[in-house]
């Protein structure tokens, strides 16, 4: 599985969402209706999953699923 698939799989499992809704364009809060606390928890879980750390400043930049995929791809490559 590539990073994109892993991120999407993680979101589906962790937030218990319908797979059809979890598309890269979807905005976590506006489209998926998850709370900012859910989003924070998801980011923390992704940190563990991918062995990286999301600095506080970058947390705010994650709006859509694509943002999360981009962030993780960029930082996973750094390693």
Partner 1 sequence: MPTDDLDLSGQVALVTGGSRGIGRAIALRLSQAGAYVAINYSADDQAAKRTLLDLERGGGQGELQKFPVENFAKVQDAIKEFSKRKGRLDILVNNAGISRDQVLARMKPEDWHRVLAVNLTGAFYCCRAAARVMVRRRYGRIIVISSIIGRIGRAGQANYAASKAGLEAMTRSLALELAGRQITVNAVAPGYIETEMTLALPPKVRQEILDHIPSGRAGTAEDVAGVVLFLASGLSAYLTGQTLHLNGGLYFG
Residues at the contact surface with partner 1, assessed by CB under 8 A = 37, 40-41, 44-45, 48
The rounded distance, in Å, linking the Cα atoms of 32 and 16 is 11
Minimum distance, C-beta of residue 45 to partner 1, in the bound complex (Å): 7
Q: Closer to partner 1 at the Cβ: 41 or 66? A: 41
Q: Closer to partner 1 at the Cβ: 19 or 51? A: 51
Q: Closer to partner 1 at the Cβ: 1 or 37? A: 37
Choose among 54, 24, 30, 31: nearest CA to 42. 54
The rounded distance, in Å, linking the Cα atoms of 52 and 50 is 6
């Amino acid at each position: 599985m590539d990073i994109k698939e892993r991120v999407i799989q993680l979101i589906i499992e962790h937030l218990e969402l319908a797979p059809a809704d979890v598309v890269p364009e979807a905005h976590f809060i506006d489209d998926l209706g998850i709370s900012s606390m859910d989003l924070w928890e998801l980011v923390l879980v992704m940190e563990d999953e991918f062995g990286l750390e999301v600095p506080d400043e970058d947390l705010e930049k994650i709006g859509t699923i694509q943002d999360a995929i981009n962030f993780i791809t960029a930082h996973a490559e750094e390693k």
